[in-house]
Amino acid sequence: MKPAFIVFFVALSVCAVCAQPSPQLVTQGSDGLSVLETAEKILDVSDRSLLPDSMAERAGQLLAHDDLFVQAAAEWALSLKVGNENMLDQAKWPMESNPAWFVKWRKIPLAKRVELDWCRQAIAAGISRDPEKLISRIETMAGRLQRQIKNRALHPTAEQAAQNAVGDLKALARIAKTAQSPRKVRDHWLAARRILRPFVFQQQAIDFDSLVFYTRHAPHHKANVCGIMHNGTYKPGGDITIVRGLETIQNIRRVIADQLPQGHVHGMDLHFDGKKLVFGYGRQINWPPKREAHYPQPRNANWAMHLRQDLEGVGLYEINTDGTGLKRLTSHPVWSDTEPVYCPNDDIAFTSERSEHSPPCDSENNDITDTNLYLYQRDKGSIKRLTNHRDVDMTPRLLNNGLLAYLRWEYQERYFTETHSIWTIRPDGTGADAYYKAHIPYPWALREVRSIPGTDQLVAIAAGHHCYSRGPIVVIDPNQGGNNPAAMSLMTTGVIPQEGKMHEAAGPVRFGGVTDHRGYYRNPYPLSETVMLSSYTYASEYCARHTTSRSPGTPSNGFGIYLIDAFGNKELIFRDPMLCSVDVAPLKKRPRPHRVPDSTSPEKNYATCIISNIYDGMEEDIKPGTIKHLRIAQHLPTPLDNNGRARKFAYGNKWTKLAGATRWTSVREIGLVPVEADGSAHFKVPTASNASVYFQALDKDFMEVKRMRSSVSFQPGEVRSCTGCHETRSNAAPTYPQGIALTRPATMPKKAPWGYDAFDYETHVQPVLDQHCVSCHAGKEKDADPDLSATKVATKNQGMFNQSYHSLLGPTLLGTGEESLVSLSNRFSDSSVTKAKQFGSHASKLITTLKKGHHDVKLNDEEWYALVTWVDFNGVYHGKLINKTPDDGSPARREAFDWPDPWQVNKIPALSGAEALPPATSERTLVVADPTLGKILRYNQKGKVTWSYPAKECHELHVLESGDMLIADGNTLKEINRKGIVLYHYQMAGPIYSCERLDNGFTLVTDSEAGQLQLLDRSMKLAATIPLALKNKGPLRARRSPRGSYFVAQQNDHVVCEYDQHGKPLRRISHPGAVHDICAMPNGDVVISGDGGIRIVSPTGDIVTSLTTSDFSNVNLDHARGVSLLPNGNIFVASALVEINRQKEIVRRFPFAKTTSPITCATLTGINSQPPTIGGWMVYPPN
């Protein structure tokens, strides 16, 4: 990145040129070289900073220049200005009134953007003003096309034309060498690109003519592997898009259109039949949230906890590619379900925050999530947990062999940067195992893995850690070894990961691949070994401020859809000027991989593990018979409680060496199992519902011989066998005869004396020291050294530790160095394979001293076990976790966490949080404003109150799609969440008698004092007023009609008036008495309630039907209030607490909610939204 003074100098020089009269810059037919320099300087400013409006105006003028390169630099500069300025959680562009340059820039047709992108590639490569290099690139184009012909990459029908094109390209190169000006050379180069482009799309791997992808803004939230999934990461905008035509787009179609409220798409997969899609969608009805969601924020905070209170979780949906059949599959009021992928049996694997884990490396300010993998089981309509991992499992993709490949990020006593590797798992959740890169340091991460058709090879994105899934495209041949860096080759040379670097062993793919000079790829979709679809962004130096790595980032509109190939071709297919285009796939039928049979037994609460010979993979000096026990343990996660607060293990950012933080998290023991003399073991382990486990091989004294520095989870009934003690295996396992352990049933692990609680130094170790050590080793006397007393010692930023802990671990409190009496693994170590007795009890002076005999100290079995376990648990101190905001309002403190029983199996409903679900699947509840109690009450179907909220003068209430509630209470309008927290509020001078949330997220309210309607924006700030024509001042209630007009019940005028958006009266409907409520129907009819009952009036003023007290027994409709039209077509009358159908039948009464005072407002939730088969009030307009 250039220093600031250089950017300032560039800006000044551009301003000087821009000050010249514009005709000098747009003269047709001029050489244009100086103009191109000017345009590129403007581009440089826009790349590194926010482009000033004056320069944007000049760039807009340059869009009319006759040199396409000048236009391209100007267009790119304007694109960066829009993308960079839209990187906050509210988009600046487009505005209500846009400047001329923006209008001109946005109207550039897609076909023109394709050619401008060729120029972008040349500018990025630094050859736009270098005639010799441009001529060389023309010759390179000819060579690329020749290689395509030679290797039979093209359709046979295109080969002859391609041969002719090779000749044309060579001729162009010769002509360009005689060109009289650089401008002419550029024109010849463009002509060469026009010749080459058709043949890029005539490759045999391309057997389709349509693509599907989705558009959305680039993320504005914290650029971190853990900050990706929650609903506040992306702002609203975009859709699933289908385009027909590749070389030239002929049709563009939105799939979701207006079927969902505002929000964003969050992952998508095309079904095998090519006719339907599954996608994640974050509904963002209340946007922007109260907290700023964009990054960076002070103190490294991200407000995830607060954002979750404003936003429901991302849910999964399914839709046909023609836009029909939209169906919601999953929902949760807090946690997000994203990145769905179809399995061979049509179940859907996905990434989810339902794990309720938070990253242990971050500070207590952060409440972002570590995601795990889950499965939507279509036949059961339920969710199954596939992985239980303390850290991150994400980005599942289905491979050709029917397995799911995914990114696993784990740092079990290792540093977090290198250990982002590829794992695989069967769709039933069994067989989870490391597949590639568990012990390769670079690149730091491999994400978005897909199979190359017809091969065992994979493609992936080489990414960093503190960044999203973007970087170079890597081809992997796993047959060369799961930890062989030479198995990687680069499809896109010149692109580097956003963090870290590429391994030096990774060379280019066969034929060389694409040579880039900046930017990042994402979502590669291989069509063959040589041809791929992908998204690509040129990146932005300015957007480095939105990444923790400070490397160039992606503007809000950065990614476009490209076709690339191993021969070096790169062609833009689609770019949305306002949004990113990602997750592209061919819209066609594809082979359904082999269905791996389900091998689980859901009725069991355990899996079975078989070890044939634990010494296989062990160092030679570990002789058979050494290992007697296997400890099953769990690296406990950092939990998120029900309020979304992370319960952290230590204060501060754990990527620094904090005193006493010898581990990333706390730990617990599941139990011990025996290892037989032949090295075999046969035992039970808990399932993924509540635990992932790791193993420690122990000798006869329960001292650790070797430690597994990874973890794995299992499924109920899974039977898993391995040959020995290793972390990953690159070669075939030897065959062993049936072990002794298999002659008996699987062993249930023997529980530790302290049960399943987290191991805690003060609870489990200090009592041993108090009993046997402090009589000699306590106090400051030299003879007492080391001091093993429980005296509390303040430790920088970490609270109080026992003096004994200081004495045993040494001055750093990390268990390293000569002064330490224990030997602990370095949690900042790399991804290399762990050696036997490398650290732990066998390498610790404390344990070896006691084992040899220390005076007359004699520990009993339980005390000895506690001590060696503590050392082999890497000297953990804290079993209690930090509650940063206790419910009683006291300062942050440590508390014991109630960890679940590891043997418990949990059932997960697909649709969680009834309030957050669509009406067709919600629980039926009655919500009533009780004027006697001064409360809003929610009743379940049994008439039991399940929720209440104080509201002394509630005139209207609505349960919103988000599950929040909109309440007009006296002169205050409130939106509250399910916990009763006020999200937004708005006050008027007088009572608010009605409110309504509109489809665009705005809120319609009546101002009876001023005689007007008010429209409030999504932050409940006044956006517009609509004057009304009133004769008599009085209560007003209003509803917006389906056609956009407003019906107003003018109570004291005894009329209902319809107004347009400017307040112009459109029609008046008289009523015999006071009017209390109105409902606008889709066909133009209006339901009016008030004195005398309820009437339905047609657009022509005819009374379609009426409901009066005389129509019913024991129902008073003389002053009907709180009348609403239900999704099933029936009418609900709040004042009478009845539901009435078209036949004037009472279909439901709610006697349990009767009050002594008249009810004015109530609502029903969970009513089926389908029109009734017979009867019903709902009348739909003709198609």
User: Which among 561, 550, 530 has a CA at the least distance from the CA of 204?
Assistant: 530
Class in CATH terms, 210-586: mainly beta
Q: What is the pLDDT of residue 33?
A: 54
* Residue 483 CB neighbour total at 10 angstroms: 19
Q: Which of 369, 429, 367 is nearest to 396 (CA)?
A: 429
Residue 681 has pLDDT above 90, yes or no: yes
pLDDT of residue 274: 98
pLDDT on residue 107: 97
Owner of token pair 């009266």? 1065
Query: Is the four-CA dihedral 27, 32, 38, 41 of positive or negative sign?
Result: positive
Tell me the pLDDT tens digit for each residue of 138-175.
Answer: 999 999 999 999 999 999 999 999 999 999 999 999 99
pLDDT at 9 over 60: no
Q: Two tokens at 273?
A: 């039949």
pLDDT of residue 912: 67
pLDDT (average), residues 968-988? 89
Q: What is the mean pLDDT of residues 923-930?
A: 85
Q: What is the pLDDT at residue 1173?
A: 35
Compute φ and ψ for 277, nearest 5 degrees: -135, 145
Task: Render pLDDT for 36-82 as a digit per residue (tens, 0 to 9).
Answer: 999 999 999 999 999 999 999 999 999 999 999 999 999 999 999 99
Looking at residue 885, its pLDDT comes to 79
Give bridge partners of residue 462 from the DSSP assignment. 446
What are 862-881's pLDDT values in tens digits?
999 999 999 999 999 999 99
Q: What is the DSSP string of 280-335?
A: EEEE-SS-S-SS--SS--GGG---HHHHHHHSPPPEEEEEETTS---EE--B-SS-
Question: Model confidence over 751-780: pLDDT tens digits?
Answer: 999 999 999 999 999 999 999 999 999 887
Give residue 1126's pLDDT.
Answer: 85
With b meaning 16 or more CB within 10 Å and e meaning fewer, what string describes 552-581? bbbbbbbbbbbbbbbbbbbbbbbbbbbbbb
pLDDT, mean of residues 786-798 = 87
Average of pLDDT values for 478-484?
94
Q: Please give the residue that has the higher pLDDT: either 100 or 731.
A: 100
Average pLDDT over residues 945-973: 90
- Mean pLDDT lowest for which of 28-32, 408-412, 594-598, 1167-1171? 28-32
Listing from the earlier edge strand, what are the strands of the sheet with 935-939? 945-950, 935-939, 925-930, 1162-1165
The per-residue pLDDT for range 1099-1146, each reduced to its tens digit, is 888 998 899 999 988 889 988 999 988 877 889 999 999 999 878 888
Percent of the chain with pLDDT over 90: 64
Range of weakest confidence among 920-924, 984-988, 1010-1014: 920-924
pLDDT tens, residue by residue, 493-533 = 999 998 889 999 999 999 999 999 889 999 999 999 999 99
pLDDT at 1168: 54
Q: Check pLDDT > 50 for residue 14.
A: no
Q: What is the mean pLDDT of residues 890-896?
A: 88
Residue 292's Cβ-side half-sphere holds a number of Cα atoms within 13 Å equal to: 11
Q: Is 1097's pLDDT higher than 80?
A: yes
Domain boundaries along the sequence of the chain: 4-200, 210-586, 607-883, 997-1165
The top-scoring range by mean pLDDT among 463-477, 543-557, 953-967 is 463-477
pLDDT at 888 exceeding the cut of 90 = no
pLDDT at 496: 92
Can you read off the two tokens belonging to residue 1077?
């409520």
What is the predicted pLDDT for the residue at 31? 44
Highest mean pLDDT (candidates 461-465, 525-529, 664-668, 917-921) = 525-529
* Centroid of chain to Cα 821: 44
d(CA 1037, CA 1124): 13
Greater model confidence, 1007 or 1155: 1007
Q: Which fold has domain 997-1165?
A: Methylamine Dehydrogenase; Chain H (2.130.10)
* CA atoms of 995 and 442, how far apart (whole Å): 57
What is the model's pLDDT at position 686?
97
Average pLDDT over residues 318-339: 94
pLDDT of residue 7: 36
Per-residue pLDDT tens over the stretch 240-275 = 999 999 999 999 999 999 899 999 999 999 999 999
860: left (phi over 0), alpha (psi -120 to 50) or beta: beta
DSSP state of 989: S
Confidence grade of residue 1147 (pLDDT, cut at 50, 70, 90): confident
Task: Please check the confidence at residue 6 and state whether its pLDDT lies above 60.
Answer: no
Q: pLDDT category, 4, cuts 50, 70, 90?
A: very low
Task: Give 127-191 as a 3 state SS string.
Answer: CCCCHHHHHHHHHHHHHHHHHHHHCCCECHHHHHHHHHHHHHHHHHHHHHHCCCCHHHHHHHHHH
What is the pLDDT averaged over residues 527-553?
Answer: 89
Poorest-pLDDT segment among 641-650, 790-799, 1103-1112, 1126-1135: 641-650
Q: Lowest-pLDDT range, 225-234, 293-302, 595-604, 837-846?
A: 293-302
Give the pLDDT mean for 1166-1183: 40
Bridge partners (DSSP) of residue 488 are 476
* Residue 746, helix vs strand vs coil: coil
Average pLDDT on 787-808 reads: 89
What is the predicted pLDDT for the residue at 15?
A: 44
pLDDT number for residue 26? 40
Does residue 749 or residue 962 have the better pLDDT? 749
Q: Which range has the worst mean pLDDT, 192-206, 684-698, 1073-1087? A: 1073-1087
Range of weakest confidence among 198-207, 288-297, 634-643, 1068-1077: 288-297
Q: What average pLDDT does the chain have?
A: 88
Higher-pLDDT residue of 671 and 1041 is 671
pLDDT at 732 over 60: no
CA 47 centroid distance within chain: 27
Under DSSP, the state recorded for 547 is S
What is the percent of the chain where pLDDT is above 70? 92
